[in-house]
Each structure stands twice: as structure tokens, then as C-alpha cells.
Structure 1
Amino acid sequence: MSRSSLMPVFDGHNDVLLRLIRGKAEPERDFLEGDNLGHLDLPRMKKGGFVGGFFAVYVSSDSGGIDIDAMMTHTQYDVPLPPALELGHSQQVTLHMAAQLIRIERASKGAVKICRTAADIRECIDNGTLATILHIEGAEGIDPDLHMLDVLYETGLRSIGPVWSRPNIFGHGVPFRYPSTPDTGPGLTDLGRNLVRACNRLKVMIDLSHLNEKGFWDVAKLTDAPLVATHSNAYAISPHSRNLTDKQLAAIRESRGMVGVNFATSFIRPDGQRNDDTPLQEMIRHMDHLIEHVGVDGVGFGSDFDGATIPNEIGDVAGLPRLVEAMRKHGYDEATLRKLCFENWVNVLERTWGH
């Protein structure tokens, strides 16, 4: 399949920056020339039609010796949440990962761009440049006075998930628990509300994917922007704490917001298990449900590449055309495919950021 015939894909979430900083000494070259590790590098992105997406900055926690992957193969599980992280360490890692994306952009000599506007993304898609959005997954690197928010904004930050699944000064994340509703504890703190207000002023997108249900509704009451969950699925199909209820989906629809379908098998499968032997039709069931409840203009991809176990029928980013073809065979017409694969993301970012 030639690149010109590939359906462009813009993606709501990946963790390639974390994989790269954990890897060898030449991460820019590994990414730009291809290392065939994990799910993402530039050559495989081109092969799969991947034109851009949200590149997450995430400060990892020690597992405490728990085999989380093994836990999530059980019929029921409740992964213990790690403790809150220390600010200094979190800032150091946040800067390291943000710098990694900046260095990739610089080393690419025009092949990769950190986008700050929807117009930037459209231009990149038109000219074949990889469009990247600097995104934070868990705001542990941001101080209570939000000084770091201003610094990161000037660096290119345009999207923040206030929490990952552990608690921090801004709020409470949803645990990896199955079966469970997302109503698992308290929501935003006063500092979290301040962060949402500051992001609204700066027109930084708020990502709801790891917030618990109370935090979701706290943001919904405060924000004047579309409600967006970059990598979440339908609770009605997979009753996992990380997924969204139909009531939450209705609020996202009312706000003209967006949901990116997560490729992580534990959030796709009705049994909640981490298992790469998961048919693509199970993903499409979530798409159908999300389209029904959010609308065809509010659904896209939120792969979680390099951060999750994904269906082996996709494999890595080069396998995206297999997913697109499965969607086509399911009955989505070409106009719908274009919306789901890339247009909806660009449009919701324009509604959030402005032109």
C-alpha cells in the first residue's frame, strides 16, 4: 500500500517519550531512523499512515514489586495505587521528557514539528511532517503556584491530564480495577480547580482520561472548553474503572467534546483482561457505542502505543491500516473513516485552542 493511499491517523495518546528515555544513548536517532522496538518510531509511523498525535510526558512510579501485568490477567483485580511523587524528582523527569521531544524536533530537520495550533497540525498533515502535541499525563511536575505551567506552555505544552492513576496535589486518579465503576473516590482539590482555571485561560486542553468520576464532574462544572478524554473506552461494554459511563459520554457530547478509543486490551475486553489475543471487532464495538452516545464528530483514536498491551492484529503503528480496513468492512464509509481517523481530533483542538 502506497503512502498516498493510506488513511491518515491522528492519535490521542502515546508513551514513546518514556520508552526512549529508558532506552539507549541515541534516542533521537532511534526514533527518527527506526529501532523496531516498542510500538512507535518514525519509519513505522510513515508505513502505518500515522500523521501525528499527543506525545505524553509521564513520570513513572515504582511498582513496589507487584507484577501488574499478571494481576490484570485475573478475572478480578484491584491494582494498588502508588504513593504521590515528590515535586523535585517529577520536575526533573518532566523536563527531561519535554526536552526529548524538542531534541527530536530539532534533529529531524523539519520532519517533526511540535504543534501549538490546529493550523500547525493541518499544515503538517498536508506537507507530510509528523505533527506532535506536547502533553502531560499526571501533573506531578507542576508546582502549587503553577510557575512550571507557564514555563511548559512556552515550551509548547497544549494538553494536560491533571492526574494519572495515583493521587497528587491536584486530584485523585482512577485505579486499575475490574470490575468497577469510575466512581472511586474524591475528585479535584482546590489546587486542581486552580489548575483547570489556569488551563482555560491559556487554552490548554484538559484530558479527563485518568480522572475518577467525581474529578470528571468537577472539571465539567469549571471548564468552558470541550470535555475530552484522550484514551478511554465505554464502561457499558467493558466495566473497568478506567472507562466512561453513558452519563459521562452524554456530557462530553453536550460540550462538543471528544473520546479517543484506547487500544489497551484490558479496557476493550468485556472481561477486563490484559490479553493481546483480542479481536479488532471488540474495539469496533466501543467505536459504535461511542458514536451512538457522543456522536460521529466526537470519536477518534487514543492508542496508548508504547504504554499498553494492544491487540496483536495491530501489533504496532505499522498495523494501523489493518484496523482501518476492519472499520471499513464493518460499514463505516470513507467520510466517517476520515472523521474517526484524524479530522475529529483536529476540529476539537481548534474548538479548544482557537484558530
Structure 2
Amino acid sequence: MKVFDLHCDTLSELRYAEKAGVPKSFAQNDLHIDLQKLKKGDYMLQCFAAFVNLGDKTPGADPLVTALEEIDVFKRIMEKYPEDIAPVYQPSDIRKNAAESKISGMLTIEEGGCCKGSIGVLRRMYELGVRMMTLTWNHENELASPNVVPGGGHNIWPCAPNTETGLKEKGFEFLAEMERLHIIADVSHLSDKGFWDIVEHSTRPFAASHSNCRALAPHCRNLTDEMIRALANKGGLVGLNYCSGFLDNQPEEKLCRSTTALMAKHAAHFKQVGGIEIIGLGSDFDGIGGKLEMDDCSKLPLLADALRREGFTEDEVEAIFYRNARRFFEENL
């Protein structure tokens, strides 16, 4: 069955390896995602995030340079394996690549702070191929606040939501320009207040690329039922996150599990609250650790089986695996 995944951190892992002098091949490596595993998993499209940690204390670290270097990794992958994977810049590229039996690669950004508050940089990111962007990661930036209470530190499990601070003036400017450019606004990592700012001010559908249901796992990175309904009403899309801390409800993070059965429970809750049409996949592969039942991107049939056991029809499983996401991006890019 075809797969469309809204989020992974593979670019940053490949960049880290290069910086450490032990580069990894995208063709085959020890990460959750490589070309061989994508083929085995029957992927239609993988979103590759240029991830930036604003808390990086490495001497000389610059968030814009980091993002550009990860985009360079993406570009080199596309150039090296043109017969197997090709970039997506517009809806017709998804259809063209599928017709040619190629995997599609879509470039995204995880941490809008890499733009340093510059609309000009945002426009250049669009020219480079970026088609979706989170306004924040886990640090305050020029655009908005994350869902980590200011002053609360970085140990964010399970974390109380930030309901006080959301988008800043520059964040509203970015939202308007992103919508003009058709860069999808991604609310994963954004504060609760920021989420509602997006709901109130957005004129186009938005996504939560890698977030689950707060009713089932009380982490602040997950969506409340009210948020799920609002996202659905806006024509949005959510990607199931495979991270144990966003799937399970345990007294300690180390006890949380990442199982396909739990993923199916979250999918069922999303369906009940927001409808089947909003559900996609947002693995967070290569950005999550711990023991994973589905421990690389070739293992997606395990999730399909779990969804069937949960009561999803074959048509609904296909909708979650790729059809909902394909429709969303074909309508909104």
C-alpha cells in the first residue's frame, strides 16, 4: 500500500553525520529512512524537514546556515538518485512522479526561526522548494511561542500547554505571506494560544504534521478534541506521530510505548472527533528514539494491520496511508 509521510528528521541526521566526518549514504544506512527502505515500504511521498534547534550551543552555529545546509543535503539526494526519487514543488509533480514510479520528496522546515524574522528569507525558502513550515520548534523565536511554558525548561514531558502566548506581530506577517506563497502552515510544536491564533487568522487549510490526540496521551504536543474539530472545520490534515511519549499515557516517559495498536487508537479517536478525512501519517522518523515496534519506514504494513484490527475498512486505511494527504497537498500547494 502506498505511503505518504508528513514529517521526518532524516536530513538533520545526514547533516550531523557529515559534520562528524562519518557520512551516511542515503541509498542505505542505519537510520529509520533510506532509499532502500522507502522502496520496500512502497512510499509515494516523504516530507523531509530541514530541522533547526535554536538551542544549539555549538560554536558558530547559525540557524539559517543549518537550514540551508540541510536543504543542500535534500538537493544532493534528488540529484544523485533521479531515477528513484524526485522533488515536489507543485501538485502536478506528485502525479508525474507517481506515473513514473518514482518516490516524491517534499521539502519542509521544522523551526520558522531559521528565517530570522525576514520575509525575504521566507520567500527564498519557497524558491528553494519549501512547501510546509512549523512556526516554532521547542524554543521561543521571532514568530511565536512553542507549547513549552516559558521558563519551564526543556524537560517537556508530559508538559503543561502554553495558553498565554501565541503568534507575535511578525508571526502574523509570516502567516499571511506563507498563505500567499502556498507554504502550508504547520502547527505542530506551536503553543495552544498560537494554534488558536492560526485558526482565527488563517484563510487556507493548515496541518499538524506530527501530532496525536491529547485525550489519549496528555502531552502538550498533542491536540485537544476542540483543536481537532477546529482543524477539521478548516479543511486541515494531521499526521500520526510514532513517538512513544505522544502515543502512550504512563506515569513516566520511560514507560511509554510506541506500538501500532496505540497508533490505531489515536487514529480511531481522530476519526471519531474530526472525521476520517483529516488523518495522515507523520512518523517523526529519525527524530525519535527508544524502542519502536515499527522501527523503520519499511515496516508500515504493521500499521495497516493494526488499523484493520481496530475496525478501519480497507478504504479508510488507504485514506490514512496516502489518499488524504495526497488530496490535501494537491488542493493546497
> TM (normalized to structure 2)?
0.91
**Residues 167-186 of structure 1 mapped to structure 2, 5 A cutoff:** 167-175=140-148, 177-186=156-165
One-letter amino acid of the counterpart of residue 47, structure 1:
K
Match of 1:77 in 2: none
Q: How far off its partner does 1:125 sit?
A: 2.8
Q: How far off its partner does 1:336 sit?
A: 0.8
Tell me how far apart the structure 2 counterparts of residues 206 and 327 of structure 1 sit (CA, whole Å).
Answer: 28
**Residues 154-165 of structure 1 mapped to structure 2, 5 A cutoff:** 154-165=127-138
Tell me how far apart the structure 2 counterparts of residues 276 and 11 of structure 1 sit (CA, whole Å).
Answer: 23
Q: How far off its partner does 1:62 sit?
A: 5.0
Q: Does 1:13 align with 2:7?
A: yes
**The one of 114, 118, 127 aligned to 1:141:** 114
Tell me how far apart the structure 1 counterparts of residues 85 and 259 of structure 2 sit (CA, whole Å).
Answer: 32
**The one of 241, 245, 254 aligned to 2:233:** 254
**The one of 242, 251, 254 aligned to 2:221:** 242
- Cα gap change, 1:267 to 1:277, in 2 (>3 Å): closer
In the alignment, is the contact (CA less than 8 A) between 2:242 and 2:258 conserved in 1?
no
In the alignment, is the contact (CA less than 8 A) between 1:159 and 1:204 conserved in 2?
yes
Task: Give the root-mean-square deviation of aligned CA atoms.
Answer: 2.2
**The one of 291, 294, 297 aligned to 1:317:** 297
- Cα gap change, 1:195 to 1:347, in 2 (>3 Å): same
Match of 1:3 in 2: none
In the alignment, is the contact (CA less than 8 A) between 2:247 and 2:263 conserved in 1?
yes
- Cα gap change, 1:291 to 1:53, in 2 (>3 Å): same
Q: How far off its partner does 1:117 sit?
A: 1.6
Q: How far off its partner does 1:318 sit?
A: 1.4
Give a deviation string over 1:216-268, Cα, whole Å, max 9, x none: 11111111111310000000011111110111111011111111110001000
**The one of 254, 279, 282 aligned to 2:262:** 282
In the alignment, is the contact (CA less than 8 A) between 1:171 and 1:187 conserved in 2?
yes
Q: Does 1:197 align with 2:191?
A: no
Alignment coverage as a number of residue pairs: 324
Match of 2:32 in 1: 39
**The one of 326, 333, 349 aligned to 2:306:** 326
Q: How far off its partner does 1:52 sit?
A: 1.5
- Cα gap change, 1:324 to 1:150, in 2 (>3 Å): same
- Cα gap change, 1:325 to 1:311, in 2 (>3 Å): farther
Q: How far off its partner does 1:215 sit?
A: 0.4
Match of 1:59 in 2: 52
One-letter amino acid of the counterpart of residue 39, structure 2:
K
Q: How far off its partner does 1:283 sit?
A: 1.2
Deviating more after overlay: 113-122 vs 37-46: 113-122
Q: Does 1:150 align with 2:123?
A: yes
One-letter amino acid of the counterpart of residue 238, structure 2:
V
- Cα gap change, 1:122 to 1:338, in 2 (>3 Å): farther
Q: Does 1:188 align with 2:172?
A: no
Identity of aligned residues (%): 29
Q: How far off its partner does 1:94 sit?
A: 1.0
- Cα gap change, 1:157 to 1:63, in 2 (>3 Å): closer
- Cα gap change, 1:179 to 1:294, in 2 (>3 Å): same
Match of 2:91 in 1: 118
Tell me how far apart the structure 1 counterparts of residues 160 and 34 of structure 2 sit (CA, whole Å).
Answer: 35
Tell me how far apart the structure 1 counterparts of residues 212 and 286 of structure 2 sit (CA, whole Å).
Answer: 18
> TM (normalized to structure 1)?
0.86
Q: Does 1:103 align with 2:76?
A: yes
Match of 2:285 in 1: 305
Q: How far off its partner does 1:329 sit?
A: 2.7
Query: Which 4+ residue blocks in structure 1 deviate beyond 4 angstroms?
Result: 24-27, 61-64, 85-88, 274-277
Q: Does 1:132 align with 2:112?
A: no
One-letter amino acid of the counterpart of residue 11, structure 1:
D
Tell me how far apart the structure 2 counterparts of residues 279 and 59 of structure 1 sit (CA, whole Å).
Answer: 28
- Could you list the runs of 5+ residues in structure 2 that have no partner in the other structure? 149-154
- Could you list the runs of 5+ residues in structure 1 that have no partner in the other structure? 1-6, 65-84
Tell me how far apart the structure 1 counterparts of residues 173 and 254 of structure 2 sit (CA, whole Å).
Answer: 36
Tell me how far apart the structure 1 counterparts of residues 242 and 128 of structure 2 sit (CA, whole Å).
Answer: 29
Deviating more after overlay: 150-159 vs 115-124: 115-124
